[in-house]
Amino acid sequence: MSLHIPPYVTFSKNVFGPVTNMCRNRCGYCGFRRDFNHPEANLMAQDHVEILLKKGVNSDCTEALFTFGETDNVSEFREILQDIGYSSFIDYVIDLCQMAINNGLLPHTNAGVLSYADMRKLKPLNASLGLMLETTGKVDAHKESPGKDPCIRLEMIKNAGRLKIPFTSGILVGIGETWDDRIESLLAIRRLHERYGHIQEVIVQNFAPQKNTLMSSIRPALLEEMQKVVAIARAILPQEIAIQVPSNFVSIGSLVACGASDLGGISPVTIDHINPGARWPSLDEIRSTIGDIELRERMPIYPHFVQEGWYSPSIEELVKRYSDENGFRAN
């Protein structure tokens, strides 16, 4: 299946910081989350984050990816924060973002559901923000996950547009959604972008079964199905929105042939903490897979948003340091 072979494929070089694995949601496919009283529950200490950031800078990264579970209104987590001198998790994340900037990295925070007020606080210190829509459908995998209510997630994506924040969203394929759900999810993202112009990329992410989860025995989407979803996404979404596919557990070349044009973050420093068994490919491996198509490095803010000035004074120096005249990563 071939729809639209892009003139180039982009990626970002990042360091991956899983700030906490504690989460109020209990998604049927997630092997990352831990209960708040689980012995493996973790909140990354600032000195650990500092070490990761320095490794990222030394490995020529431009992006600090901060991702974590949803912890709103959970008393056990509030107690953990209070023990280290914080009353708000967003305040803790803001300090991590400032630490990234001080070290020379552009933050991209993927925080789960955030309020308008919290996104407004994060905006000056982030090159972009992200939230997977996953699906507008009602699926069993989300029945114990209040933060996966599609209305709540679409409201956050809308608020990002109101705040003029370059934004990443996406759909998750194979969690029990129908084809109609997939199409409606993409249309919902398109409608918000048509109103606010803020969506820089949509991830088409295939579900990957994880051990010790409710969906550990569920078959993931086959390549042919993923090709079809990518082709549909490319047909539905405006051309300025990149279609991103994960570089570490899909057939990159076949999905690029269907319209995918971005491979997301690739880290020379950290594993994929959400899918720890999936190794990042080398750039040479990617080039051999995509053939004659040019591979271009970007920052966590996409080139056209760089050119349009969708960034704050707090990160202006870094954006200009790392970008070329077209908004891509300077050689």
Cβ-contact 11, 295 below 8 angstroms: yes
| Average pLDDT score over residue span 235-242 | 97
Is residue 272 over pLDDT 90?
A: no
Q: Quick: pLDDT tens for 66-103.
A: 999 899 878 889 999 999 999 999 999 999 999 999 99
Higher pLDDT, 192 or 271: 192
pLDDT of residue 319: 98
| DSSP E strands, the chain | 8-20, 63-68, 106-110, 128-130, 167-173, 199-206, 242-244, 262-266, 294-298
Cβ-contact 188, 136 below 8 angstroms: yes
Cβ-contact 71, 34 below 8 angstroms: no
| Average pLDDT score over residue span 220-234 | 95
Give Cβ neighbours of residue 11 (< 8 Å, ≥ 6 apart).
247, 262, 263, 264, 265, 266, 286, 295, 296, 297, 298
CA–CA separation, 72 and 224 (whole Å): 39
| Average pLDDT score over residue span 25-54 | 94
Q: Quick: pLDDT tens for 5-31.
A: 899 999 999 999 999 999 999 999 999
CA atoms within 13 A on the CB side of 55: 14
Range with the largest mean pLDDT of 2-6, 76-80, 246-250: 76-80
CA–CA separation, 85 and 79 (whole Å): 10
Cβ-contact 203, 168 below 8 angstroms: yes
pLDDT of residue 3: 54
Higher pLDDT, 130 or 274: 130
Phi, psi angle pair for 225, to nearest 5°: -65, -40
Q: What share of the chain is helix, strand, coil (3-state, %, to 5)?
A: 40, 20, 45
CA–CA separation, 292 and 294 (whole Å): 6
Is residue 1 over pLDDT 90?
A: no
pLDDT of residue 321: 98
pLDDT of residue 297: 98
Q: Quick: pLDDT tens for 165-221.
A: 999 999 999 999 999 999 999 999 999 999 999 999 999 999 989 988 999 999 999
pLDDT of residue 5: 83
Fold of the domain spanning 8-322? TIM Barrel (3.20.20)
Block residue for tokens 């690739």: 266
Is residue 164 over pLDDT 70?
A: yes
Cβ-contact 62, 12 below 8 angstroms: yes
DSSP one-letter code for 144: T
Give Cβ neighbours of residue 51 (< 8 Å, ≥ 6 apart).
none
Is residue 302 over pLDDT 70?
A: yes
**Percent of the chain scoring above 70 in pLDDT:** 99
Q: Which two tokens stand for residue 21?
A: 């694995």
Is residue 4 over pLDDT 90?
A: no
Q: How many CB atoms lie within 10 A of CB 220?
A: 17
